[in-house]
Amino acid sequence: MGTCTYTIAKTCGPDSTLPPFSIKAKNDNRGNTRVSYVGHVTVEVYNVTVSVVRYDTGFVRVNAQRSRLPISLLEGKLKVYQSGGSVVIHTDFSLRVSYDWNSYLVVKLSSSFSDSVCGLCGNYNGDPGDDFATPAGVLAASPIEFGRSWKVEDGDRFC
């Protein structure tokens, strides 16, 4: 529930045939410091950084340039569009990140990435018993330790 940036999911492991990607989310407080919500989502894929900021509905930043939706990049390998009240970042390898510009973040990924991802979403191997692994690959002793292990330095001194 901290106001830090966290790795939600990214490619990990030995399979170099899988396209690398990274999904990070930064939380923010909204009037109550005991609770935080997703306020900023960043997806890095194909050497492109797509950032979505809370309440900037209809817009994203692509490599730090504010852009209106929809967007198609790299001959359609990466598409960013609005679906209902959410922005969707969709790749040709079936990574689909959806964020409602407020707090709700959903990540969907092809089963070909099974056991080849890591982050707060786990390793996607079908065994929830080993999903609390830290970046070092060891199981965290507590949910707090697990969350802290996926914290990404973002320069926010209040994190």
For residue range 19-72, what is the model confidence (pLDDT) as tens digits? 999 999 999 988 888 888 999 999 999 999 999 999 899 999 999 999 999 999
Within a domain: 97: yes
User: What range does the domain containing 95 cover?
Assistant: 5-152
Degrees, nearest 5: CA angle 113-75-13: 20
The DSSP letter of residue 133 is B
Phi, psi of 60 (to 5 degrees): -140, 170
Query: What does the alpha-carbon distance between residue 141 and residue 36 come to, in Å, rounded to a whole number?
Result: 23
Residue 122 clears pLDDT 80, i.e. is over it: yes
If you search the block for the tokens 């407080």, which residue do you land on? 29
Within a domain: 34: yes
When mean pLDDT is compared across 36-40, 85-89, 132-136, 153-157, the lowest value belongs to 153-157
If you search the block for the tokens 């996926």, which residue do you land on? 150
Residue 141 clears pLDDT 90, i.e. is over it: yes
Within a domain: 158: no
Q: pTM of the prediction?
A: 0.94
User: What local confidence, expressed as pLDDT, does residue 156 receive?
Assistant: 86
Within a domain: 110: yes
Within a domain: 17: yes
CB 12 within 8 A of CB 22: no
Within a domain: 159: no
Within a domain: 157: no
Closest CA to 105 of 43, 12, 21: 43
Helix boundaries (H) for 29-158: 143-149
Q: What is the mean pLDDT of residues 65-86?
A: 97
The count of domains in the chain is 1
Q: Name the E strands within 5-104.
A: 5-11, 21-28, 37-45, 48-53, 59-62, 65-68, 71-73, 78-83, 86-91, 96-99
Within a domain: 103: yes
Q: What is the mean pLDDT of residues 65-82?
A: 97
User: What local confidence, expressed as pLDDT, does residue 67 receive?
Assistant: 96
